[in-house]
A and B are shown apart, each in its own frame.
Chain A
Amino acid sequence: MNAPAASALPARREGLWSKALHKFSRDRAGLISLVIVLLYTIVALGVWAGLWATEWADVTGTKWMPVSSEYWFGTNLIGQDIFQRTLYSTRTAFEVGLVVAVLATAVGALLGAVAGFFSGSWIDEIALWLMGVLDSIPFYLFVAAIAFALQDNPYAMHVAMISTFWTTVARLVRGEVIKLKSLEYVEAAHAIGVPEITIIFRHILPNTFHILLVQGTITFVAAIKSEVILSFLGLGVKDGMSWGLMIAESTLEVMAGFFNNFLAASVFLFVLVMAFNMFSDALQDALDPKKV
Chain B
Amino acid sequence: MTAGLNNAKQRRRLLKKAFSNSPGRWRVWLAMAGFVLGLILLLGALNLALGINRAIQAGERHAEYLIVNKRVTVTGMLTYVRPGFTEAEIQELRDQDFVRDVGEFVTSRFRVSALADPRVSDMEDAPAGGDPGGFGMSMPLYSELFFESLPDRFLDVDPDKWHWDPELDYIPIVISREFINLYNFSFALAQGLPQIPESVIGGVGGRITVSGSGGEKRFRARVVGLSDRVPSILVPREFMTWANREIAQEEQRRPSRLMIKTDRPADPEMLEYFKNRDLQVNSERLRAGRIGRMAMMGLSAVGALGGLLVALALFLFVLLFRVVLAESAERIRLLLLLGYTPAMLTAFALRRFWFSLIAIALLAAAVLGTVFPLVYQRLREVGFDPGPVFFPLTVGAGIVILALAGVINLASVRRTIRRKAEYLS
- Say if A and B assemble together: no
Instruction: List residues of chain B with CB under 8 Å of any chain A CB.
Output: none
